[in-house]
Structure 1
Amino acid sequence: MRTILITGASNGLGLALAEHFLSNGETVVINTRTPTTAELTEKQIDGNKFRGKHLIVPADVKNRKQVQHLFALANLKVGQIEVLINCAGINIDKSFMKMDDESWDEVINTHLKGTFISSQEFAKQHEGKLGHIITLGAGCGIQGRLNGANFCSAKGGILALTKCMARELAPRIAVNCLTPSAVDTDEVVSRYNLNTQEGLKKVLTGIPMDRLGKREDVIQMTESILSSKFTTGSNFFVNGGELMH
């Protein structure tokens, strides 16, 4: 059984992955941004009575000292982390000409700097058998989108960072990027009005598989990445053909 740390796991894909691993009896360190979200996540996890052991630790991934505390506490309570999945993120959408420094910095630092800090601290503590880092990309990090220069730049940077880490951390740590499209999380459904026929039709027009992604699709690809001992520096699309690259 593995010991897995997931950042930004109070909701969305991070929480879905945490619940999956816990249901399989694995040990999961769940990172949330604040003590308040940690308490809410604790209640949800406890209510499901999963087989696996969990530890919930609030830490802002933009803050090096908080991330160091996160890993120190995890190592003390559950042992060495073998897998890091970087899910922490935020969206602050504005047009390019209205994008202010605060909105730029908050998104870039949460996604890109947070992935950098968390991955570096993971690599410092990892010893022994092959470790895994999974980063979270986005199609717009390759092709861009409207009103998201900060988010797209962060995701493009994460893809480049993934490749750099893969080169430098091999052979002891494999680093790969997971890039989903529209997955039916609450945030995505709300953002794109997917609970309306008009909003859903607009999104599905660009997806050849003609459906939204499911949490299970992302979980399946994650398990596939983690099962490989010879794959690193790759970007795995889970997007129904929305972006073929």
Structure 2
Amino acid sequence: MSQTTQKVAIVTGAARGIGGATALRLAQDGYAVAALDLREASCVDTVATITEVGGRALAVGADVSDAEQVQTAVERVATELGAPSVLVNNAGITRDNLLFKMSEQDWDAVMGVHLRGAFLMSKACQSHMTAAGWGRIVNLSSTAALGNRGQVNYSAAKAGLQGFTKTLAIELGKFGVTANAIAPGFIATEMTAKTAERLGMSFDDFKASAAAKIPVARVGAPDDIANAVSFFASEAAGFVSGQVLYVAGGPRT
């Protein structure tokens, strides 16, 4: 497709894991993809993978919690790839600890990336979407939104993203823009590997323990989440908005 006809997607936290898999899947779906992460260089591999399969991609460095950097990044994407019509707010960090040990800095850092980041990115992209009369915003929540020991900051941020998503759906729906959230369960990534390390377990044992509690008897992979994003970003999902999809290998309540 030409730059004037090809839809453009921005995926934050696209250097690896869920973000990297999602960027590749959207490229395979026909989108030009801006792979955004804190450091532009960290997205080089993601961009290379996309271009190797014939896609168009751009590596972008930005701190999603910084309003000026976000605005600059989105403007660059609009100039070099085209106006964004899909936004996947995937960027995230963990700063796990029990409440009485958690510092204010660790609370603020997690809120800054997850909630402030999603707010700033959505605000910067929505003007392009509403002007075009078509857009898709997909926010990455988590089963931790239901509560998870040692993650009061992360759980609060992920629960907040669900309310944020539902409100975006109400405000932007009349402009042709949908907003949905995906709440992954256990996904085997570098982030979950670090959790295993924090708990003093091998990653294989950690995955096996998690799989034993999941109805489908396995842990998730980044592609499992990318597949769900692909649906929410599609034309076929135009009547689906304000929803939270738990991709966790079984029911969560």
TM-score (norm 1): 0.91
The answer to whether the 8 A contact 2:87-2:137 is kept is yes
Say if 2:169 is the partner of 1:141: no
Distance in 2 between residues matched to 1:190 and 1:108, nearest whole Å: 19
Q: Deviations over 1:29-53 (max 9, x none)?
A: 111112xxx2242145326613111
The answer to whether the 8 A contact 2:47-2:59 is kept is no
The answer to whether the 8 A contact 2:15-2:45 is kept is no
- Paired residues for 1:103-122 under 5 Å: 103-122=106-125
The answer to whether the 8 A contact 2:212-2:218 is kept is no
Say if 2:170 is the partner of 1:130: no
Q: Which residue of 1 aligns with 2:8?
A: 3
Q: Deviations over 1:50-79 (max 9, x none)?
A: 311111111101011110001111111111
Q: CA RMSD in A?
A: 1.7
Q: Give the fraction of aligned pairs with identical amino acids, expressed as a percent.
A: 26
Find 1:31's aligned residue among 25, 30, 36.
36
Q: Which residue of 2 aligns with 1:209?
A: 216
Q: Which residue of 1 aligns with 2:252?
A: 244
SS at match of 1:60: coil
The answer to whether the 8 A contact 2:16-2:46 is kept is no
Distance in 2 between residues matched to 1:134 and 1:194, nearest whole Å: 32
Q: How many residues align?
A: 239
* Segments of 4+ moved more than 6 angstroms: none
Q: Quickly say closer, same or farther: Cα 1:165–1:194, change in 2 above 3 A.
A: farther
Find 2:44's aligned residue among 31, 42, 45.
42
Ranges in structure 1 where 5+ consecutive residues have no aligned partner: none
Say if 2:17 is the partner of 1:12: yes
- Residue type of the alignment partner of 1:203: A
Q: Deviations over 1:122-179 (max 9, x none)?
A: 112222242000000011112x111111100100111111111111111221000011
Q: CA deviation at 1:244?
A: 2.2
Say if 2:233 is the partner of 1:226: yes
Find 1:195's aligned residue among 203, 206, 210.
203
Q: CA deviation at 1:25?
A: 4.5
TM-score (norm 2): 0.89
The answer to whether the 8 A contact 2:43-2:60 is kept is no
Distance in 2 between residues matched to 1:240 and 1:76, nearest whole Å: 40
